[in-house]
Structure formats: C-alpha cells, structure tokens
Structure 1
Amino acid sequence: MTTTPSKPEPFLTDGHGGVRIAADRQGAPGARAVVFLHGGGQTRRSWSRAATTVADRGWQAVTVDMRGHGESEWSSDGDYRVSSFAADVREILSQLPPRPVLVGASLGGLTSMLLAGELARGIAGAVVLVDIVPDMDPIGAERIHAFMADKVVDGFGSLDEVADVIAEFNPHRPRPADLDGLRNNLRRRGDRWYWHWDPQFIDGTATRPPLEVADTDRLHAAVAAILADDVPMLLVRGQVSDLVSRERATAFLERFPQIEFVDVEGAGHMVAGDRNDLFADAVLGFLDRHDSEG
C-alpha cells in the first residue's frame, strides 16, 4: 500500500431508526477501510492518532461517533441496544468498499461482535477487539460505569475539574498540560461543562438499554460465528486493564485459540489513548498479515 496523507473528511449517515450518525474518513477513498468504533462515553476523536497512522499507510480510516455520543444524534426513543449501535454501523459500511476491518474498543468491540457475528455475517474482513471480551470483569465494568455516571447531573465548573477527575480515574496516564483537547468530550451549557453523551445511555432511564453487554452466551456465540466464517480476529489488551484481566483474556483465548493476541505494556482500558504507538503497531502488523484475505 502507498502512503496517502490526508485530513479527516466529516460525513453523516442515517442510522437505525433515522438517527443521524457522524463520522470522519481519511486516506485513499477507494482503499479498503478500517472502521474505528469507540467505547462508551468516548467519541471518534479518541482514535485521531491511530486513524491518521492507518491512513498514512494507504488504508481508508473511518472513525464513528456512536449514537448518543459526540456529534451523532441522541436516540429520541431511548434506543441504546448494542444491536442498534450495530445497525447504525451497518449503514455506514454500506458506503464503503466491501469487507472492511472493524476495530472496536469496549462498547465498539461488543458492537463489532454482534454486527459481524449475528446481524450481518460476512460483512467484515477482519475484527480487532480492543480491551473487551464477552466475559468482562464486573468490578472493572462497575468502576467505569461509576465514573461515567458521576457528574451527569451536576456537570463540571471548569476544564481543570474535568482533568482532575480523569487523572484520578486514570492515574497511570499523565495529566494533560493543555486542556483544550478535553473540549472534544464535553458540551457547554451556561457556565457548566457536561459529558457529551446522552445521560439515558448510562443512568438507567433508556427505554431500550444495552442489555446485551451482560449476555455472555450471545456474545460468545457471535465470536464463534465470526471465526466460523474464517474472519481473522485480534484481541488487543491493555496490560493494566481492570476490565479484561490477564486471566479473563487467557480464558477467552483458550476458548478461541484462532484469535491473535497483543498485550500492550503500560496501557489501561483506554489502550489507544494510553499507548498509541504500541497500539498502532499492533493493528498495522495485524493488517499487514491479513490484507490479502480481505
């Protein structure tokens, strides 16, 4: 593949139920795509450096704001099922060259499982799961949920306050000196800052919440179906993750020995944000090995 530097180009798609989904693409328009799907509470901006690295290697990199997050619309009827996230992504993939690579972190990884293993088998040429397995650690999941639920109502008085909260949650990551980047994850209302995502997604008020995250049998069946279709898979774990322990990763890989594995040193659950260099190397190595199989 040749190098094709470019800037992200925004585009919109009507997702499941007419929810407008915002995304960016960069790189060669006709090239095979790598579609990055963020975790709960994040936005497509979390993939900026990784997407640029992939695009510079000749791929078309597509980053997506999941429904209720970032610049995508909130669901008017509170539909935040993982299957609905997957249906949104399916609409985006209809605009791309066939059999893209799905790179999904946490919620994005669960979405990739259901999309490629249940909703639209054969749609993906490869799948990368970023710090997510069906049988995730419930204590780690609760810690993430508590972080997302905190300040939903009250918000923050300043960007410094936001940075302090994030630093407490991710002590292994240096507190940013420049706080402007935090604006991508926040919205301003009056003199307060609030997380960018729809509170219904996390506070239990959604009429159709993402209950599939706890259906380990269904998620394991989806992974088995992906592998049965001879779709290559890679698990990238943050070495200090509290959501995917080494033991849970080992159990997942013993159950599905076909899946490749990379443990990223110094990274927690937010692997790409913690160690983008090692994360990008892992993904590019996987893409190089399986490019001809798309």
Structure 2
Amino acid sequence: MGERRILTGADDNALVATAFVGGRTPVLLLHGGGQTRHAFEDAAERIGEAGFAAFAVDQRGHGESAWPANGGYAFADYARDVARLSDQLEAEFGRRPVAVGASLGGIASLYALGVEPHVLEGLVLVDVTPRMDPGGVKAVIGFMAERAEEGFATIEEAADAIAAYLPHRQRPSSLAGLRKNLRQGEDGRWRWHWDPRFITGPRSVNADEQATERALLAASSRLAIPTLLVRGRSSELVTEEHAREFMALAPQAEYVDIAGARHMVAGDRNDVFTDAIIAFLRRRFGGGAAAA
C-alpha cells in the first residue's frame, strides 16, 4: 500500500499523491488530462519496489487535488506545479526528480524544462511530443467535453461511454477502478473527477495552442537531461513522424515503441510500459538506492 501525501502546487493549491518510497531517487508520475493518479499507481508501486521513490500525483483540478479558485489550467500553470513539486522532492530527497508524464503530464514537464532546464533530473514522455495529430487531439477533447457537465445517471452508463470510445480495450469485470475517476454530485449523477473548467474555462488547456507548441519545440531542442520517449505503436495522437521529429530535436533521447498500445499506454500495456520505465531509470540513474 502506498502512503497518501499532500503536496503543494504553485498557487498553494493542494496536490494529493500516493507515494511508494523504496529509495532516494524521486520519480514524479503525472497522469494525462482527465485522468487521476490511479492511472499510474500500479506503475508507481513497481517503481518503488525497484528501489526508487515514486509519487503518483493528482494534478490540479483532477482527482482529490484542489480546484484552483482562479481556474488556472493553462499548460503554463501545470508547468509551474511541476517546478513547485520538484522543489519539495529535492528538499526531501536531496535531488531533483525524474518526471514520467503522460500527455498533459508530459507537456507540463517539458514546458517546465523550457523555463528552467535544471528543474528535473530526467524526463519520460509518455505518448506526447511537441506536435501531435490535430484530429486525435480533437477526438480526445471531444470525448472529455461531451458529458463533462451533464454526467451520467450510473457508473455503468459511464462504463458504456468508455467502452464505445475505447473499443480495443477489454471491458473490466469490476467497476471499482472506474469509480475512482468519477464523483457523485448532490443530484445523484456521476461526473468525471476533474474540474470542467480544465477544458471550458477562460484559462484552459486549449488556450494559445500555437504558443504552447513553439515553447515545447524550443524546450525539446535544449534538452540536456536523460530523456525517454514512450509511444503507443497504435497511438491516435503521436505518429511515427512526430516521434522522429522529436528524436531529431533531442538526439540524446531514447525511444521505445510499445506494440498493442494506443495513446493511453499505461492503461493498454501497463506491464510492458512499467518494465521500460524501470529499465530506463536503472540504466540512467544507478538502479535505485535502498531507502534509509
């Protein structure tokens, strides 16, 4: 069992994490947009067992973490949270963390490195690159927005919506995991466990997409830390061309292409995904040290 921790974001917003501390090298696992820390908890537990200090975090506006009063959900806001989290983990462990970021988490981490190149010791980008397929991005945002306000009458109805969106993934026999990604309102309806302003507010992740892309391209070209790009081979967002472009910008980076996985790599092939992360961490950060 992991330890529930309360960390602090850039706006003094509470960020809830599950920690698996098996060593003194911190690893910060940041989920994708619309997800919660539970998407990475299995991987975090294995990373902790491998001799690292893994923290799976609910990002601002998601899961149990606070919804900022100012509605600050631009990528720059998430990047500021990465920097603040890095400061806290450095204070506890004596070194900056390695960030493992899926989609939103990867963009936030790369954006933060563009502002401060030494804010992280290492970077794992999980099916995210500076440029991604516009149609794939539109489909993801569309699915998230479709029932964000209305919600679902039952958890089973939410499961039906996910099954229709992800027909390649076997429907789980238990809905306990899905329940962690939903919240029940006073009206009895179930809604996603994230603030709708994340995609509909005045300072949402949809703000100034071109400026974000330019910032990520510039940050990629200046990367000087151990970096791994993990792509789902059947990704609907990151094409082989996008991956090649990133590797040309950051030629020191490593690359893993996971068969049988789409954009949500950890959900599709969590075993293979986690093996690749642990191998990278051991190869580039000494294999983890035993906890003191």
Shift of 1:187: 0.2
**Displacement of 1:26 after TM fit?**
1.1
Asked if 2 retains the 8 angstrom alpha-carbon contact of 1:173 and 1:274, the reply is yes
Which of 65, 69, 76 is the matching residue for 1:76?
Answer: 69
Q: Say whether the 8 Å CA contact 2:199–2:206 is kept in structure 1.
A: no
User: What is the CA–CA distance in structure 2 between the aligned matches of 1:265 and 1:208, rounded to whole Å?
Assistant: 32
* CA–CA distance in structure 1, aligned partners of residues 282 and 243 of structure 2: 24
2:11 aligned residue = 17
Superposed CA deviations along residues 47-92 of structure 1, whole A, max 9, x for unmatched, are: 0111111011111110111111001111111111212112222222
In the TM superposition, residue 293 of structure 1 has moved relative to its aligned partner by 10
Partner of 2:207: 211
**Aligned: 1:61 with 2:28:** no
Q: Alignment RMSD, CA only? A: 1.7
Q: 1:197 aligns with which of 194, 211, 225?
A: 194
Go from structure 1 to structure 2 and tell me whether the alpha carbon gap of 1:74 and 1:200 turns closer, same or farther (over 3 Å shift).
same
Residue 27 of structure 2 corresponds to residue 31 of structure 1: no
1:103 aligned onto 2:100 = yes
SS at match of 1:95: helix
Show the counterpart of 1:153: 149
Residue 3 of structure 1: aligned partner? none
Match of 1:165 in 2: 161
Is 2:281–2:287's contact at 8 Å kept on the other side of the alignment?
Answer: no
- The runs of 5 or more residues in structure 2 that have no matched partner are none
Could you list the per-position Cα deviations for residues 233-275 of structure 1 after superposition, in whole angstroms to 9, with x for gaps in the alignment? 1100011110001222122223322211101111111101110
* 2:177 corresponding residue in structure 1: 181
Q: Distance in 1 between matches of 2:149 and 2:181?
A: 16
1:46 aligns with 2:39: yes
Name the count of aligned residue pairs.
282
Give the 3-state SS of the residue equivalent to 1:181 in structure 2.
helix
Question: In the alignment, what sits opposite 1:267?
Answer: 261
How far does the alpha carbon of each residue in 1:210-234 deviate from its partner, in whole angstroms, 9 at most, with x for none? Answer: 536543221111122223xxx0111
Asked whether the 8 Å contact 1:129–1:234 carries over to 2, the reply is yes
Change (3 A) 1:256 1:89: closer
In structure 1, the gaps of 5 or more residues are: 1-6
Contact 2:130 2:213 in 1 (8 A): yes
Alignment partner of 1:122 is 2:118:
yes
Query: Do the aligned partners of 1:110 and 1:213 also contact (CA within 8 Å) in 2?
Result: no
Q: What is the alpha-carbon distance in structure 2 between the residues aligned to residue 122 and residue 184 of structure 1?
A: 34
Alignment correspondent of 2:135: 139
SS in 1 for 2:27: strand
**Equivalent position SS for 2:17:** strand
Do the aligned residues in 2 keep the contact of 1:235 with 1:259 (CA within 8 Å)?
A: yes
What SS is found at the alignment partner of 2:222? Answer: helix
TM superposition score normalised by structure 1: 0.91
Helix, strand or coil at the partner of 2:235: coil
Counterpart pick for 1:91 among 84, 95, 100: 84
Q: State how far apart, in whole Å, the 2-side matches of 1:92 and 1:157 are.
A: 36
Q: Secondary structure at the match of 1:16?
A: coil
Structure 1 residues 279-290: aligned runs within 5 Å? 279-290=273-284
Tell me the TM-score normalized by structure 2: 0.92
Q: Is the 8 A contact 1:117 1:224 kept in 2?
A: no
Aligned pair 1:222/2:219, yes or no?
yes
2: CA distance, partners of 1:99 / 1:196: 29
Equivalent position amino acid for 1:255 in 2: L
Q: Which residue of 2 aligns with 1:255?
A: 249
